[in-house]
Amino acid sequence: MTGSPTPFSKIGPPSRFKQAIRHFGGAAFCGIGLFLLLVVYFYEQPLALSSFGISSLANASLALVLVAAGQTCVLLGGGLDLSIGAIVSLVNCFAATLMGDSILSVALVVLGSLLLGMLAGAVNGLLIAYGRLEPLISTFCTLFVYGGLALTIRPQPGGHVSDDFATLLTGNLGVLPYAAIVLAAMLLLVWMPIFRSRLGRFIVAVGDNSDSAYASGLPVRPVRLATYVISGLFAAVAALFLTAETTSGDASIGASYTLNSLAAAVLGGVALTGGRGSVVGAILGGIVLSLILNLLSVLGVPAFWQDLIEGCLLVLVLAAAGVQRLRIDDWTKLLGKGRS
């Protein structure tokens, strides 16, 4: 930056460093937090360093990480999904109820589960993009529809899950847990192709400012729809993983994932107002959050403290994001339409 100091030099786009901070600040913050947490965790629980310990840690956090990634996709597109936890419950009940033992039936149920998740996401997307409903309100309503469907499929927890399916998803290959492979596959085969393509840039553009995206000729509605379908897919994979982990179906299993996925995304620097953030941040946020909850049980904190601590963490994260927004944004804009 040795150019002549013109009066305009301050108005231009922010420097690369600032852009990087804006993009990866949350992720970096989470990375540091994760490192500290891991140090504490391994100090308290040296056994966790074994391959079994690592895979159990990975298994405990994968579902939240996947749901947080799905939530991030919707958030990047300027929406929000309150029904994502109910989609997890729905797919979990569906899979655990119908899964047989033969390879064919397992494969069919997995395929059906993925389609079911995408369908549930698509319904959300249609209501919001084409029905012109507000994302929060309509997903609040579908939360009850999907939750009710899950409860209708499976009024009591139970069901049958094939052993092969369970070990296939929750086992480990040496020190490398299968959960990590699932996550890597989802990122490499789903997230990267989408977000390196035009669609990904469209999603971010729509999330940043849907009016100017429309004015620039972007297909705003299909893009919105796509974000919800993708998030439904991530929720379905998370639900399949949970099914393998718990080997049963439970209509209330996903309830905590809605708020926790939001917390994970916000913790990882994803803006609730849309258009800003990275999936790396959300993943790290998800790992940090589930590690904290895991650490609580390692430290011997009674289970009924969990809700309180989860809630306090959530409120702290939301408050921190709120304070940050107050500092950055113009207060007249805050009072305008773009509340989040």
Tokens standing for residue 110 = 């997995």
Minimum separation from the CB atom of position 308 to another protein (A): 3
Distance CA 230, CA 179 (A): 20
Verify binding: residue 339, another protein, rule CB under 8 A.
yes
Tokens 């804006």 belong to 22
Q: Which is nearer to another protein, 274 or 286 (CB)?
A: 274
Residues 140-159 that bind another protein (CB under 8 A): 140-145, 147-153, 155
Phi, psi of 54 (to 5 degrees): -65, -45
Distance CA 234, CA 10 (A): 41
Q: Which is nearer to another protein, 173 or 309 (CB)?
A: 309
3-class SS at 6? coil
Q: How many CB atoms lie within 10 A of CB 239?
A: 33
294: closest CA among 89, 66, 59?
Answer: 59
Verify binding: residue 8, another protein, rule CB under 8 A.
no
3-class SS at 172? strand
Distance CA 254, CA 101 (A): 25
Distance CA 112, CA 95 (A): 8
264: closest CA among 92, 63, 38?
Answer: 63
* Span between the terminal Cα atoms of the chain, in Å: 37
Verify binding: residue 137, another protein, rule CB under 8 A.
yes
Minimum separation from the CB atom of position 215 to another protein (A): 8
3-class SS at 268? coil
Minimum separation from the CB atom of position 138 to another protein (A): 7
Q: Which is nearer to another protein, 113 or 142 (CB)?
A: 142
Among 36, 39, 107, 323, which residue sits at the site for another protein (rule: CB under 8 A)?
Answer: 323
Minimum separation from the CB atom of position 260 to another protein (A): 10
Verify binding: residue 97, another protein, rule CB under 8 A.
no
Verify binding: residue 311, another protein, rule CB under 8 A.
yes
Verify binding: residue 131, another protein, rule CB under 8 A.
yes
Verify binding: residue 29, another protein, rule CB under 8 A.
no
Among 180, 187, 214, 292, which residue sits at the site for another protein (rule: CB under 8 A)?
Answer: 214
Residues binding another protein (CB under 8 A) = 78-80, 82, 127, 129, 131-138, 140-145, 147-153, 155, 210-211, 213-215, 220-221, 251, 258-259, 262, 272, 274, 302-312, 314-315, 318-319, 321-323, 325-326, 332, 334-340
